[in-house]
Chains A and B, each alone.
Chain A
Amino acid sequence: MRSIDAREIAFQVSRMVVEANVSLPPDVLRALEAAFESEDHSAGREILAQLLENARLAGETGLPLCQDTGLAVFFIEMGCECRIEGDLYKAINDGVRLGYKKGYLRSSVCHPLTRRNTGDNTPAVVHMDLVPGDRMIIRFMPKGGGSENMSGAAMLTPAQGWEGIKRFVLQRIAQAGPNPCPPGVVGVGIGGSFDQAPILAKKALFRPLDRDHDDPEVASLEKELLQAVNALGIGPMGMGGRTTALGVKMEMAPCHIASLPVAVNIQCHSSRHKEVIL
């Protein structure tokens, strides 16, 4: 058994929430640069230039990339041979509270009905997986509301199959248009249960843009879907252009013989996330 102090978790979380909000992951920055190079639509090209300049300025000034510093979403892989000294969920929320305050990040969490702001961006949304080993991996994503609002899920029939999934994803992207701040990342969760598909879709957003799915067949479906998404021509911020998405990432799970759950979680161009291994 390896023991991890909850205070260390809170400290690491408080740092990672700030870093994730100020600097884009290198793969996302590279994808935006590549999109700028290949864009021949003038409005789309200008938007991409602004986004690259925005990323540079955020790094220079320490200001967040976007005023929507997100709902704090965590995916944690906890090794079965780890023992937490203290309260894990409290540690994560303490880290969020401290990081959002020290980093001058926006508190964007409120009561769903009274709409009263909690004032410190807690509580965080925490997904936990138990895995073999003695390591703990904390993955964090500040998830913006504009792109989250354009996400959706459906219970398709087995007869609809891949074509049905493709149609559903493309419909969502087309209806979303400029709202989720394209060109972003499209996370698709296929299979599992009604509740599992959206979690798979969100998990998929953490995979680096330049890393293919381990299963070559799934990787080829991702490429097919990305091509179809970009063929919609929505372009950067919906002004038209070649790049509507920087990537499509899929995760799958077996499902009931009667069902075909599918979920699409849209991420904006500011595809911020960060990982810490303890």
Chain B
Amino acid sequence: MTREIKLTTALTDEDVSSLRTGDKVLLSGKVYTARDAAHKRLFTELEQGLNPPFSMQGAVIYYVGPTPAPPGRVIGSAGPTTSSRMDVYTPRLHSLGVKATIGKGRRGEEVKKSLMEHKAVYFGATGGAGALLSRCITGSRVLAYEDLGPEAVRELEIRDFPLLVVNDSYGGELYVRVDS
């Protein structure tokens, strides 16, 4: 039986512990966008000892590069991108306090281990439903790396953003396994 759970960011260890693979979550609060180029720059800056553009404690990162906001809207189309490209960065971010990532597609073994080790969760949003998901975003502002254009780090205000728990903090996996 699918459960529907309402959560608000920042997420706590208790929030994460309560989630199981397959749960439906309606997430509200602030999330931070970052995809390939933003992750790369963030890591360069971390190595230089600089502070990240947002607090990592309990943070939720959304892998998205939205389309520009047309007049009268806060954001354009804004669905998830493929998460696996960010796998190399995710365990370190978990260790710094990030409690959840939002994307689409499978995560690697290192990330799944890290979710258990750091008590974090991986949410899936529906890929290719950018117009639909845009409705759940009520605010957007660029926080850092504006020169990266669609890959800039944004702070998004979301309300009842529909997600599925793909990988929980207990080793669960939602995607169908297919032998190739």
Contacts and interface: CB of A to CB of B under 8 A. Distances in A.
Interface of A: 42-43, 47, 50-51, 53-54, 57-58, 61-69, 104-108, 115, 117, 119, 145-146, 149, 170-171, 174-175, 177-179, 181, 232-235, 237-240, 268-270
Nearest to A62: B70
A63 B81 contact: no
Minimum-distance CB pairs A-B, first 5? A174-B180, A179-B105, A181-B127, A58-B131, A54-B132
Nearest to B135: A57
Nearest to B68: A104
Contacts of A54: 126, 128-132
B109 interface: no
Contacts of B129: 50-51, 53-54, 66
Given A104-B70, A106-B68, A178-B105, A65 B176 contact: no
A171 B77 CA distance: 32
B9 to A, nearest CB: 21
B180 A67 contact: no
A62 B68 CA distance: 12
Contacts of A117: 148-151
A42 B124 CA distance: 16
Contact of B175 (A105, A178, A181): A178
Of the candidates B64, B77, B84, B134, the one having the most CB atoms from chain A within 10 angstroms of its own CB is B77
B149 A67 contact: no
Q: How large is the interface on B (under 10, 10 to 19, 20 to 34, 35 or more residues)?
A: 35 or more
Contacts of B106: 177-179, 238
B78 A67 contact: yes
Contacts of A268: 127-128
16 contacts: A43-B164, A47-B126, A51-B129, A67-B66, A104-B69, A105-B67, A106-B66, A106-B76, A115-B37, A117-B148, A117-B151, A146-B127, A177-B106, A177-B178, A178-B106, A237-B126
A119 B146 CA distance: 12
B175 A238 contact: yes
B77 A149 contact: no
B77 A64 contact: yes
B131 A63 contact: yes
Of the candidates A57, A69, A108, the one having the most CB atoms from chain B within 10 angstroms of its own CB is A57
Given A47-B126, A239-B174, A174 B150 contact: no
B89 to A, nearest CB: 15
A101 B104 CA distance: 27
B128 A181 contact: yes
Nearest to B67: A106
A51 to B, nearest CB: 6
B178 A269 contact: no
Contacts of A67: 64-67, 76-79, 81, 130, 150
Given A62-B70, A232-B178, A233-B178, A146 B131 contact: no
Contact of B176 (A51, A179, A238): A238
Contact of B82 (A50, A69, A179): A179
A69 B67 contact: yes
